[in-house]
Amino acid sequence: MGELFQQTILISILAGMVRIATPILFAAIGELVTQRAGIWNMGVEGTMLMGAFTAYFVATATGSIWLAVVMAMVAGALVGLIIAFMTVTMRVDHFITGLAVNLLIAGLTLYWFRMYIKGRAQPTFDGFENVPIPVLSSIPIVGEILFDQRLLTYVAFAAVPAVWYLLYRTRWGLELRCLGENPKALDIKGLSVAVRQYAAVLFGSVMTGLGGGFLMLGFSDRFLADITAGRGWLAIVALIAGNWMPKGVLAAVLVFALLESVATHVQVLGIDVPHQIFLALPYLASILLLMGLRRQSRQPQRLGIPYFR
Amino acid sequence: MTSIERDTGAPRPITRIRIEPRVNRKPIWTFSMYLAATLFGLVLSALLLWTSGADVIKAFSALLNGGFGSQKALVATLAKATPLILTGLATVVAFRAQVWSIGQEGQVYAGAMGAYTGYLMLAGLPPALYIAGIILCGMIGGAVLGALAAILKDRFDVNEIISTVMMNYLIVFLLSYLIGGGPWTEVSTSVVYQQTAPISEAAQLPALFGSSKLHLGFGFAIVAALVCYVVLDKTPLGYEIRAMGYNPVALAYRGTNIGRTIVLVMILSGAIAGLAGVSEIFGTAHRLRSDTLFNLGYTGIIIGMIGGLRPLGTVVAGVIFGGLSSGALYMKLLAQVPAALVPAMEGILMLTFLCAGVAARYKIVRVQTDG
Amino acid sequence: MSPILRTVNLTKRFPGVIANEDVNFDLVAGEIHCLFGENGAGKSTLSSCLFGFYQPEGGGLELRGEPVKFRSPRDAIHAGIGMVHQHFVLVPDFTVLENIVVGTHENGWKLNLDEARGRVEDLCREYDIDLDPNATVRNLAVGQQQWVEILKALYLGAEILILDEPSAVLTPEESIRLFRIINHMKELGLSIVLISHKMVEVMQSDRVTVLRKGKVVDTVRPGEVTPKELTRMMVGRDVELRVIRDRSAEGAAAPETVLVVDNVSYRDNRENLALDQISLTIGKGEILGLAGVSGNGQKELFEILSGILIPESGNVTLADERIEGLPSRQYMDRGVGLVPDDRFREGLIPEFDIQENMILGWQRHDDYTQGPFLNQKQIGTIAEGLIDEFQIKTPSATTPVNHLSGGNAQKVILAREFVHSNKLLLANQPTRGLDLGVIEYVYKQIIAKRDEGFAVLLASEELEDLLNLSDRIAVISGGRITGVVDPENTSIEEIGLLMAGERKEAAE
């Protein structure tokens, strides 16, 4: 009996990990493309929040959660446009741009949210259901963990090899990586650095917006002011910890997700310590991870440096 | 032979936009850029109000009246401005050195918690000494958290933005434990409110001008601004901070220890942010709770940036935004607009100010490249 | 013969400067045409206009007799123009092949490196270039990286090749090989624009166009003018660098040793051995020249000798005191002055004004402080004095140094370092990128310091200058000292061999 209980909890923790990893993975994989193109986008947290709020607004206002997903991506794209304009066209410091965008969106979403729910009970919506994959989901243990998830979770995990293929097996990927290492090498061949960097920022922001949308629609039925709670930042940490490689990023995201999943199971596990300790784990882990890494060899050489001719 | 993909169609005239540095910067141009940024920011804010169905005129006039409309309002404004000026100054010190710390938020909490520790441990000291000790403990609290980020950056090459964000979350969890079930939790009530018991009168910061709102903390903010100004502009340490912001390589080449300077900067920045926490808890809220401290640090980043990363500019920006925060309550009452408009406006203004900063430094040239 | 490419009254302005004014230049098919001029004469700007990287404000280009407008390098590439930039534009982490292929837009969206590899190998065979397409560029020698740049242009089908200072980073050996291949390209029908300020190379070209201050002085054939005449055309007056040559009698005797470097090794953060058991001595009143292609350990050596880096092993002794491992502050306090090679990055705070830069590193010194504060008045007075003494052309002492020309900025560094040091002067490429007039001035100042009794370590890529100025010349290659020679009894050829890494038997 005890053994079965343990197994059930373990499966629940691991399945929870896969689900919790989803939004961070979307953001991290998107940001991977952005950073390989040389843009240090620090606005991931804000972009994600924007995606989450937009998804909430659309889902409650129209009742269509798929429309909500699309609009979360559109919202991400709009934020990406601001970030790209500031960093690529205006050449404002990338860090400062990200901070400004985060603060702006924290303010905006809070205002819109308060305005939206003014004088009424907060509306809710029906989020995503699990979509078990036929056959695969009936594999014992593994099936329950991996193949009985929300649809977008499959998409997020499929995005990892897809982005790997994009980066290493296509002409665009080669150009993208070139932007992060030495944008002038493209410029002297007459190819626009700005257009490609805009595209990379937009791709990253759309993915991040999608991550925010999933965070809203896949986990909860109501919006909170700080619903992203640092997940955007964790995505950036995962990128550094994963050494700007798709595989490494996936691994780092899973570590954070596992810690968070464990934290949500603390009460079931009956461990008698303040629950804040478990909540703090992913953040603590991210600092420790970065401390252990020290100098990075794979960080794009021109990451975060505005390009001037 | 080439096998390059060819452009289709005839060459067409295109106008491109290019950014070039301004050779001679005139102060009047810089000033008008920032004025334009302010106006544009206000227009965007009005647009935000209008699109969300609020009465723009009513909301803005309530905001202004509530913030600056009467002597009483002004006093309330200065009280609101106090922690913002302090966190703004903390931002100025760090950002002038190009240390992108956003740990002001966490340092405010750490300052409040340090001071609360002092409040518990130093009880029984003579009043003036007691308050001085509490303030010192608060500054140490903020400074320790700041120094931690600096050491992580210097020794372990951990990006300071990320480490400070993570510590901002960690410190909030710590406080949440301490006042929500932990040793500092208020015990007299049957429900846990996530707060400490009220702070004894002996430890409260004395009021200024007999006001119920304005307290000694405002004096600290002004003194801190003056100290920051003198340190940054008139001392060797300030020279090093500014030089590090522009070119740390050359500074290190000529004998200045960059790691040590980063630690000093973060101690200074953290101590000032810590002071904001002390001031808010011991001057205004009179008990330690999380929500009174929330967002003071992040707002300080905006205040410092809009203040042009100058101490005196930060005081001005702090008072203006203190006024908006203060007026937001009236706006909520009179125009039924959520107080959250103010952080949204702050974000908008920060973006327009960043653009103005670029416009002041560079000029945008239209280049007709063909035809 | 009608020109294949020419400019008609081409004018290009930058904020505050006219880089090219009414330039008329023509390139005949199958010739090597040299653009000759001082730094800042407008050679690079002109070539960037030819390549479509910059768009001229006035005048225009004609290609094979037809007026053309290049909106971007892409148009120039389509027209068959290729450019090899002075500072390589390569991605160190990419392979040779990836560097060549990136941005070439062929074969659809999928990366097809195999086909490209075949074409690159064909090109290597055709032009007799020995290079592995799969090698990572980071691991190539600087000379080989140059081949990658040339292959990039050839791969795109260049018929006109612009080479911007191609030999600046090559050893004399490699330069000779480069010119062999350039001549081979010419035989195969390519037209070549060669940008250079080296007389040897100029004399090997078919025609020379001399630029001065953005304008064309004249276009001549090298056989019809003497090098001296060419120099006069370039500078606008006679220059006699050789006048400087005079060694102090004291130095030649038995100099009292100031600096001893004993078996110093250093590993960079990629674990490469950047310095391999370096041993050197410099005496009082002696100039030790350091010859070598840059990137062979000079920078690391200078950084160790000024306390910025800590050696992995070995000793550094200054005036009988072991100082390796001490922080740079201690080196400064012991009288070591440093003129770094990247002046705006390592020597100056560009946004600071002249007087602030004059005290960089000494901002806590008693002379410049009053209690806890900076003594602005005193700093101003001292700065004014130095501006006069070093003939720095500036509106005021409070002008930011990024408003100064390279020469005047370099003088700010010289002034600061000369005033604050008293034993050892480290000068890494102190004349790089400067006009001849300023070069002359810098050398005179260094000689004056030598005569005062300073020990001087002077690194330069200009071998002629080293031969003229040094009491001894040490040659560095691959992080090792390959030999120490006496300028009286050596030749450029001997130094060239040492620079290429051939070790000289210890003959000191």
Q: How many CB atoms lie within 10 A of CB B14?
A: 12
**Band of residue B165 on the pLDDT scale cut at 50, 70, 90:** very high
| Amino acid, res. B28 | I
Q: C18 or A161: which carries more pLDDT confidence?
A: A161
pLDDT at A19 over 80: yes
**CATH label, C3-235, candidates 3.40.980.10, 1.20.1630.10, 3.30.70.1230, 3.40.50.300:** 3.40.50.300
Summarize the confidence of residues A3-19 as an average pLDDT. Answer: 90
C16: nearest CA partner in chain B: B23
Of A158-167, A172-181, B269-278, C233-242, give the lowest mean pLDDT range.
C233-242
Nearest C-alpha of chain A: how many angstroms from C128?
25
Q: Is B168 helix (H, G, I), strand (E, B) or coil?
A: helix
Q: Is B309 helix (H, G, I), strand (E, B) or coil?
A: coil
Of B185-194, B246-255, C269-278, C350-359, give the lowest mean pLDDT range.
B185-194
Summarize the confidence of residues A173-180 as an average pLDDT. Answer: 96
The three-state (H, E, C) secondary structure of C2-42, written as one string: CEEEEEEEEEEEECCEEEEEEEEEEEECCCEEEEEECCCCC
- pLDDT tens digits along C450-489: 999 999 999 998 888 898 899 999 999 989 999 999 998 8
Angle made by CA atoms C417, C420, C426, in degrees to the nearest 5:
40
Summarize the confidence of residues A102-110 as an average pLDDT. Answer: 95
Extract the tokens encoding B261.
């300077």
Q: Does B13 touch chain C (CB under 8 A)?
A: no
Binary contact (C102, A188; C-beta < 8 A): no
- pLDDT tens digits along C193-247: 999 877 888 888 999 999 998 899 999 998 898 888 888 888 887 665 554 555 5
Most confident of A288-297, C225-234, C281-290, C492-501: C281-290
Q: How many CB atoms lie within 10 A of CB C368?
A: 20
What DSSP letter does each residue of C397-455 carry, written as one string?
TTSBGGGS-HHHHHHHHHHHHHHH-SSEEEEESTTTT--HHHHHHHHHHHHHHHHHT-E
Cα–Cα nearest to B104, from B238, B304, B347: B304
Tokens 């560079």 map to which residue?
A: B362
Torsional sign, CA C420, C424, C428, C433: positive
- pLDDT tens digits along A110-124: 999 999 998 899 999
Report pLDDT for C239: 62
Residues of A in contact with B167 (CB under 8 A): 283, 287
**What is the C-alpha separation between C93 and B108, in angstroms, rounded?**
43
- Residue B170 is nearest to which of A89, A284, A295, comparing CB atoms? A284
Judged on CB neighbours under 10 Å (0-12, 13-18, 19+), A135 is exposed
**What is the C-alpha separation between A164 and C294, in angstroms, rounded?**
37
List the single best residue of B179, B351, B365 to mutate versus A (max A Cβ within 10 A): B351
Two domains, one topology: C3-235 and C257-335+421-499: yes
Report pLDDT for C198: 79
Which segments of chain A are extended strands (E)?
131-132, 148-149
Report pLDDT for B29: 86
Residues of A with CB under 8 A from a CB of B: 42, 82, 86, 89-92, 95-97, 99-101, 103-108, 110-115, 118, 229-230, 233, 236-237, 240, 274, 276-277, 279-280, 283-284, 286-287, 290-291, 294-295
- Residue B249 is nearest to which of C105, C338, C345, comparing CB atoms? C345
**Band of residue B371 on the pLDDT scale cut at 50, 70, 90:** very low
Q: N- to C-terminal Cα distance for chain A?
A: 69
Report pLDDT for B370: 35
Q: Is C278 helix (H, G, I), strand (E, B) or coil?
A: strand
Query: Does the global pTM surpass 0.95?
Result: no
Q: Does B370 touch chain C (CB under 8 A)?
A: yes
Torsional sign, CA C392, C397, C400, C403: negative
C336 has which bridge partners? Answer: C424
| Percent of chain A topping pLDDT 70 | 98
- pLDDT tens digits along A33-68: 999 999 999 999 999 999 999 999 999 999 999 999
Q: Mean of the per-residue pLDDT values for chain A?
A: 92
Residues of B in contact with A57 (CB under 8 A): none
Q: Does B362 touch chain C (CB under 8 A)?
A: no
Query: What architecture is the C257-335+421-499 domain classified under in CATH?
Result: 3-Layer(aba) Sandwich (3.40)
**What is the C-alpha separation between A46 and C260, in angstroms, rounded?**
57
Nearest C-alpha of chain B: how many angstroms from C312?
19
Residues of B in contact with A42 (CB under 8 A): 161
List the single best residue of A81, A115, A198, A228 to mutate versus B (max B Cβ within 10 A): A115
Report pLDDT for B180: 86
Q: Does C268 touch chain A (CB under 8 A)?
A: no
pLDDT at B7 over 50: no
Nearest C-alpha of chain C: how many angstroms from B40?
29
pLDDT at C505 over 80: no
Hey, which residues 199-218 in chain C have their CB within 8 Å of chain B? none
Q: Mean of the per-residue pLDDT values for chain B?
A: 89
Summarize the confidence of residues C346-364 as an average pLDDT. Answer: 95
Hey, which residues 174-213 in chain C have their CB within 8 Å of chain A? none
Cα–Cα nearest to C52, from C39, C63, C38: C63
Judged on CB neighbours under 10 Å (0-12, 13-18, 19+), B6 is exposed
Of A53-67, A69-83, A213-227, A262-276, give the lowest mean pLDDT range.
A262-276
Q: How many CB atoms lie within 10 A of CB A298?
A: 12
- pLDDT tens digits along C139-175: 888 888 999 999 999 999 999 999 998 887 787 788 8
Q: B9 or C328: which carries more pLDDT confidence?
A: C328
Tokens 């967002």 map to which residue?
A: B295
pLDDT at B23 over 70: no
Report pLDDT for B210: 72
Residues of C in contact with B17 (CB under 8 A): none
Q: Does C348 touch chain B (CB under 8 A)?
A: yes
pLDDT at B368 over 60: no
Q: Is C194 helix (H, G, I), strand (E, B) or coil?
A: strand
**Band of residue B3 on the pLDDT scale cut at 50, 70, 90:** very low
**Band of residue B30 on the pLDDT scale cut at 50, 70, 90:** confident
Domain ranges across chain C? 3-235, 257-335+421-499
**Band of residue C127 on the pLDDT scale cut at 50, 70, 90:** confident
Report pLDDT for B9: 34
Q: Does B49 touch chain A (CB under 8 A)?
A: no
Report pLDDT for B24: 63
Report pLDDT for C226: 87
Summarize the confidence of residues A242-255 as an average pLDDT. Answer: 94
Helical spans, DSSP H, in C26-141: 43-50, 73-78, 96-101, 113-127
Summarize the confidence of residues B218-225 as an average pLDDT. Answer: 97
Q: Does B22 touch chain C (CB under 8 A)?
A: yes
C42 has which bridge partners? Answer: none
Residues of B in contact with C369 (CB under 8 A): 236
**What is the C-alpha separation between C508 and C454, in angstroms, rounded?**
22
pLDDT at B107 over 90: yes
List the single best residue of B23, B254, B362, B365 to mutate versus C (max C Cβ within 10 A): B254
Binary contact (B340, A114; C-beta < 8 A): yes
pLDDT at B85 over 70: yes
Of A183-187, A293-297, C62-66, give the lowest mean pLDDT range.
A293-297
Hey, which residues 76-115 in chain B have their CB within 8 Å of chain A? 100, 102
**What is the C-alpha separation between A103 and C156, in angstroms, rounded?**
47
- Residue B166 is nearest to which of A89, A106, A287, comparing CB atoms? A287
- pLDDT tens digits along B133-160: 999 999 999 999 999 999 999 999 898 9
Binary contact (B246, C351; C-beta < 8 A): yes
Q: Does B231 touch chain C (CB under 8 A)?
A: no
- Residue A188 is nearest to which of C53, C101, C111, comparing CB atoms? C53
Helical spans, DSSP H, in chain B: 27-51, 56-68, 71-96, 104-121, 127-156, 160-179, 216-234, 236-246, 248-253, 258-278, 296-306, 311-335, 341-361
Q: Does C88 touch chain A (CB under 8 A)?
A: no
Q: Mean of the per-residue pLDDT values for chain C?
A: 89
Residues of B in contact with A105 (CB under 8 A): 347
**What is the C-alpha separation between A70 and C264, in angstroms, rounded?**
62
Query: Rg of the Cα trace of chain A?
Result: 20
- Phi–psi pair at B4, nearest 5 degrees: -85, 140
